[in-house]
Amino acid sequence: MSIRYALVSGEQDPHLPYMQVLLQLACSEAKFSCELSSALDMNQGRALEQMAHGDAGMDLFWGMSSREREQKALPVRIPLYKGLIGWRVPLVSQKRGRLFEKVFTLADLKALSAGQGQDWPDTQILRGAGLPVVASPLYLPLFAMLRQGRFDYFPRSVIEVGQELESEAAKGLTLDPYIVLHYPAAFYFFVSPRRPELARALTQGLEAAIKDGSFDKLFLRFNGPRLRALNLARRRIIELPNPLLPKDTPLQRKELWFYPR
């Protein structure tokens, strides 16, 4: 079975290695072979529209769920990061490393502006909580915009920030040590409506991997060291609501979610 996925953040997408291995695991657990290939680099909004209209022969992209996305594409409702996409730590300029030292509440946070992607669900979540957001249509320029002081901080998921800090794009930036933002969020595979058999196969494969423990083993291999390094349990947690969370998000399945302790 061929699977052509969208590179929504280019070859530097910090999710790419984990997603590729997860796709192979799902295929293996569902007892079929799959051949992976990438589509042209594009932002998430364009990827969603192209899949919704059956353009470009694109089968799949990965990203955070929202009601709009679940209406336009077929969600495979297994949170691939066990909810970690909704745990966000701020990147700041190295010159402002103590920016959040006295930030304890959502009200405190409203005095600072965040940078986000224009078509990311996170942008709507932050704005819905009353937080100022400066949006960019492209991902990589956000790092330069932060260095230039166009906004105060760049909230990154705990699964992305480690790799990003090692990149050239993050030169001059550092990780805030004080807070973590949290909102309930799921990061799914989204499949083209013209490939319902692929959505069923991936669901079957991931459910089998959860049952036999191989999903959690892979999750910890990729994400365990990052979580330990960030020490989330010692950070001040600022909770945000997620008005975009679809009603079918499987929050009741505790085995699918992570919480720091």
* H-assigned helices in 40-120: 44-52, 67-72, 106-109
User: What kind and span of H or E run contains 62?
Assistant: strand 60-64
Cβ atoms 152, 113 nearer than 8 A: yes
Residue 94 confidence class, pLDDT cut points 50, 70, 90: very high
Computed over every residue of the chain, the mean pLDDT equals 91
Q: For domain 84-182, is the CATH number 3.90.1150.10?
A: no
Residue position matching structure tokens 């691939």: 80
- Kindly report, residue by residue over 51-89, the tens digit of the pLDDT: 777 666 788 989 889 888 999 999 999 999 999 989 999
Q: Do domains 2-83+186-230 and 84-182 have the same CATH topology?
A: yes
Nearest one of 163, 179, 181 to 86, comparing CA atoms: 181
User: Structure tokens of 133?
Assistant: 């957001």
Residue 10 has pLDDT above 80, yes or no: no
Decide: helix, strand or coil at residue 76: strand
Cβ atoms 153, 146 nearer than 8 A: yes
Residue position matching structure tokens 């959505």: 199
Residue 179: predicted pLDDT: 97
Measured CA to CA, the distance from residue 233 to residue 218 in angstroms comes to: 22
Residue 11: predicted pLDDT: 65
Mean pLDDT of 211-237: 93
The share of the chain scoring above pLDDT 90, in percent, equals 70
What are the boundaries of each domain within the chain?
2-83+186-230, 84-182
Own/partner long-range contacts of 159-164 (Cβ < 8 Å, ≥24 apart): 159/14, 159/15, 159/18, 159/81, 159/84, 159/85, 159/223, 159/226, 160/14, 160/15, 161/89, 161/91, 161/226, 161/230, 162/226, 162/229, 162/230, 163/14, 164/14, 164/91
Superfamily of domain 2-83+186-230: Periplasmic binding protein-like II (3.40.190.10)
Residue 246: predicted pLDDT: 92
Residue 128 confidence class, pLDDT cut points 50, 70, 90: very high
Lowest mean pLDDT among 12-21, 167-176, 185-194, 205-214: 12-21
User: Structure tokens of 44?
Assistant: 């998430």
User: Structure tokens of 219?
Assistant: 């999750």
Residue 207 has pLDDT above 90, yes or no: yes
Measured CA to CA, the distance from residue 38 to residue 102 in angstroms comes to: 44
